[in-house]
Every structure is written in structure tokens, then in C-alpha cells.
Amino acid sequence: MAVYWITGLSGAGKTTIGREYYLYLKSSIDNVVFLDGDELREIMGGDFGYELLERKRLAHSYAKLSKMLSDQRIHVVIATISMFNEVREWNRCNIENYVEIYIKVPIEILIERDQKNLYSKNKKNIVGFNIHMEEPLNPDIVIFNDGLKSPKELVAKMLTDLRPKDK
């Protein structure tokens, strides 16, 4: 079982790419789940705010949930900003078959796209804009999503990059 931890800034395409990858896996295996950071935040009852410490607690919760599912022989595809190297390092040390996928998009492109109206509407508490994101130190895969390739093409690149690492 593996945990595919898809990280990047808001609007980078984590959910779209993650869902596409989940559908790819689901076509050949049954024991796979897709977790989206925005949905998880809502499911957890709004108990977490957007301050740095609350974001870190939430990220640790996602990591522990992903580990629990993986330990139960369920493949996990999770799309989350996950802005802390501490959390990603915990994942590497504690989750067997952890695969970190960084969807990289320059902030200028995100501001231009502004898919969730985050960058134009509410310019506070935005990771990568006015809250520092610790860029992943050693992701297994980096995907540059400039919007010129479809989600299927980006997943195909992921599959090519993953092939030698899959167990």
C-alpha cells in the first residue's frame, strides 16, 4: 500500500491531478481512497483555523489519518497544501511506501488563474502569498503545472516518474 501525498499551493491543481490519479488507480484496484484537504478540513468540523499552529495541527492530522489507512492496506491519494517540512518528514519516517508529489506553480501564474478567487478577493492568510510555505525539500516527483497540459497528461508524467519507484 502507498500514500501519494500531493502538495502545492492553493490553485496549483492538487485536487484535479489527485482525483485523476485516484481514478487511474481505482480502475485496477479496489482499495484506494482519495482525500482532499479542503474536504477534510470541513469534515473535521471546522475545529481548525488558519493560523500557523492550527494549520500544522491539521497537517499532522492528515498525515496520521493517511498512515492509519495505509496500515489497513488501503492506497491513499491525498491532495493537501501541506506547507510544513516537519510534517512531510514525519510522513517519510512513519509511512511505508510514502510518495511525495509536488505540484509546482509560480505565484504569478496562480494569481493570474485565481481559480478560487483567493488571490484577488481575500489577500490574507493565503499560503504562498502572505504566509510562507516551506517548499518540499526532497519530493519524489515535481510536476510543473503551467496550465498548458491536461490533468491526464500530468498524471501520465507522474506514472512515468513513479514506475521505477513503485513496489
Phi then psi for residue 72, to 5 deg, are -95, 20
- Among the listed residues 10, 66, 70, 82, the single catalytic one is 82
**Torsion angle, alpha carbons of 49, 139, 105, 117, to 10:** -20
User: Residue 71 gets which letter from DSSP?
Assistant: H
70 is catalytic: no
Query: Are the beta carbons of 109 and 146 closer than 8 angstroms?
Result: yes
The Cα-based distances of 62 to 4, 15, 41 in angstroms read: 12, 15, 9
Going by C-alpha positions, the residue among 90, 86, 91 that lies closest to residue 3 is 91
Query: Are the beta carbons of 78 and 62 closer than 8 angstroms?
Result: yes
Q: How far apart are CA 120 and CA 60, in angstroms?
A: 29
Annotated catalytic sites, by residue?
82
